[in-house]
Amino acid sequence: MINLVPVLIYLLLSLMITRWWSQRQDASTLHQDKAKRFFIGGSFLNGPLLALTLVATYTSASSFIGGPGAAYKMGLGWVWLALIQVPVAILTLGVLGPKLLKIKQQQHTTLIEWLDSRYQHIWLSRLAIVSLVIGFIAIIAVQFIGGARLFSGVSGLSYELGLGLFVITVLAYTLTGGFRAVVMTDALQGVVMLAGLILLFGTILSQGTLSDLMAKASVSSPEILSPHGVNNYLGWPMMLSFWILICFGTMGLPHTLVRLFAVKDRHSLKRGMVWGTVICFLMTLLPHLCGVLGRALYPELTIPDDIMPKLISGLFSPFWAGVLLAAPIAAVMSSVDSMLLQSAVSLVRDGAVKLYPSLNASQQIRLTRVAMLLITVVATYWAMKPPEMIVWINLAAFGALQAVFLWPIIAGVFWPNIKGHSAFLAMFSGLISYLGLQLNAPLMWHVHPIVPALALSLLVMLLSHVIVIQMNSKVLNSLE
């Protein structure tokens, strides 16, 4: 149990920072609307802070538990595959950032609020809210599983007790903070993650030279060192799919885009791109390499996702294992808090306030906290029976969000003439086709369902736009 002491100190420190920022926020005049202060916090993100919160939110249990687990099983090919996501900061901040910065004066609080303002299509809003909340609950459940496995794997606690401890901690500081507090703890957690990873990677390398460890890892299967993985599973069709899923498609992830509503200025965007790319490279490469090298030290694991807890508990004394545990715990918590806050805000701000416009700011915040509790209960229930590898659930939820949001967001920013009905049909066709393909595994030609789903979604949006233009033209001609 001694290894839990540093973790509990770290969690207490996170909570204190949250409450401190919450009090500063209440005293600020960033927004006259108290609810907006809680939900978005004002334009305060500078370059380094933007980079840390963006990467910390994007980096999750899948990156620290599921990704290394997949690398443990499939080898260096998975490391190569994971590095495809490194340009995510350049794409998100560089492509969408300048455009969204121009419309920031309207002070949108949520992504759906902006979609509402841009398209003014009631069914688009409803589909967006439902998709966002269900998708986030699935991802939150994955984070809960990752957090619980870390606690139980390193400390020896039961999975259920680890799950309860993790859930209560996340709730404690998300409920009392708000967007600003979440961002500040993300930044702290980003630093903790990076420091922990460097320490873990260095300790693994102290067990032998890199070539010796790679040779040991490949004893049971030489394909571990192949760029295309065991049984050529990670061939070019899969590589192309993942370039869409974890790189290009990330421009359609609501929890990363909402940070653009709080960026200070264009200079902050540019600095965020540089810092974000460097941080993302390190946070992707190091944990996945740890997964591959871990196979040399612990070759007999039956559950691949156990490799990171096993490395931490096996290579360090109980106290230092507890210190190092803070890094992956930070990765998991920084994703959970953002999604928990944003899904609850969407339910209240985009749903309840439209039905009951008379709700004042205090009532909105109280309702948001209730929504957080309900979402947590549902996600915890799902996390009670975890699968062996969580990476696939996380990627499936990522894909569903991208199938819904990617084209309406890009078209909404770059195509002024696109209308709400075309964006809605793109959302609907993307979601239905993605779910249909995802539920009918195995993958066709090793292509992930996100590729055909996004292709169909784009085609439907273009066709509906052209058809409506032609119909309007015919109507105008008949009136002349």
Summarize pLDDT for 427-452 with one digit per residue, the tens.
999 999 999 888 876 666 778 888 99
Whether residue 456 is predicted with pLDDT greater than 90 in this model: the reply is: yes
Q: CB within 8 A of 452, min separation 6: which ones? A: 433, 437
Furthest-apart CA atoms within the chain: distance in Å: 85
Cβ neighbours around 376 below 10 Å, total: 23
Lowest-confidence range among 16-25, 143-152, 317-326, 457-466? 16-25
pLDDT above 70 coverage of the chain, percent: 85
Report DSSP state, residue 45.
B
Identify whether the C-beta of residue 312 lies closer than 8 Å to the C-beta of residue 324: yes
Whether residue 30 is predicted with pLDDT greater than 50 in this model: the reply is: no
Whether residue 41 is predicted with pLDDT greater than 60 in this model: the reply is: no
Q: pLDDT tier at 462 (50, 70, 90 boundaries)?
A: very high
Tens-place pLDDT, residues 270-288: 888 888 888 888 888 999 9
CA–CA separation, 287 and 187 (whole Å): 19
**Three-state DSSP state, 326:** helix
CA–CA separation, 162 and 315 (whole Å): 21
Residue with tokens 């996380």: 394
Lowest-confidence range among 11-20, 249-258, 466-475? 11-20
Tens-place pLDDT, residues 337-373: 777 877 888 888 888 888 888 888 788 888 888 888 8
Q: How far is CA 54 from CA 325, 331, 335, in A?
A: 21, 12, 10
Residue 249 has phi, psi (to 5 degrees) of -70, -15
The average confidence (pLDDT) of the chain is 81
Identify whether the C-beta of residue 116 lies closer than 8 Å to the C-beta of residue 350: yes
Lowest-confidence range among 2-11, 227-236, 404-413? 2-11
Angle at 346 between CA 341 and CA 347, to 5 degrees: 100
CA–CA separation, 229 and 28 (whole Å): 53
Tens-place pLDDT, residues 165-199: 878 877 776 776 666 666 667 677 777 778 888 88
Whether residue 454 is predicted with pLDDT greater than 90 in this model: the reply is: yes
Tell me which of 291 and 142 has the higher pLDDT.
291
pLDDT at res. 105: 59
Backbone conformation region of residue 393, classed left if phi is above 0, alpha if psi is from -120 to 50, else beta: alpha
